[in-house]
Structure 1
Amino acid sequence: MISGYVITFHTHYEALVCMRSLEKSEAAQNGAIAVKLIPVPRELSSACGTAVKVTIKDGGIFGAENFTNIERDEVFTFDAAGKYTAVGK
């Protein structure tokens, strides 16, 4: 089961815009997700080195389809063990 998503970007600006957009989302307002700006994990690569981590809280439902309107490099899922899996661009 996935614990959340890590989204990488081409620029720092895109990461900030994404974070602010997700923070205003209904899922974040309801407490279903937590959104955080992080350095890109070593296992992943990114042009700008900044990523957005979306952690799904217990019982929360949030899918990769929520990222379709966001300028990004790649989307990865992560599980409780910290394993990353690419979902796509």
Structure 2
Amino acid sequence: MSCYVATFHTHLAALTTARALAARGVSAKMMPTPRKLSSSCGTCLRYEAEDPCLSDMDVDMEQVCTLEAEERYIVLIKKA
């Protein structure tokens, strides 16, 4: 299992994605977005899953990263 962090353009997108992940059985925690990743809406999701669950992301998703080590993120997908 890997740890992922997803950032969003809106708080609603983060909440919608958290609900979609929960329906899939993936526990996601809403938390403040690390400044290393974004300053967009300020809310991100941190979750652990077998895959990044990209099909469950809201359309206002900004990016999904893996958390490799403390404060070391690798961007998997980033939308403009």
- Under TM normalisation by the shorter chain, which class is it? 0.7 to 0.9
Q: Percent identity?
A: 36
- In the TM superposition, residue 47 of structure 1 has moved relative to its aligned partner by 1.4
Q: Normalising by structure 1, what TM-score?
A: 0.73
Q: Number of paired residues? A: 75
**What's the CA shift string for 1:24-78, capped at 9, x where partnerless?**
10xx2xxxx431001101211141010011124xxxxx212x2135221100100
Q: 5 Å matches for 1:52-71?
A: 52-56=45-49, 62-64=50-52, 66-70=53-57, 71=59
Q: Normalising by structure 2, what TM-score?
A: 0.80
Alpha carbons of 1:69 and 1:22: their partners in 2 closer, same or farther (altered >3 Å)? closer
3-state secondary structure, aligned to 1:73: strand
Structure 2 residue aligned with 1:88:
77
Structure 1 residue runs without a partner (length 5+) = 57-61
RMSD: 1.7
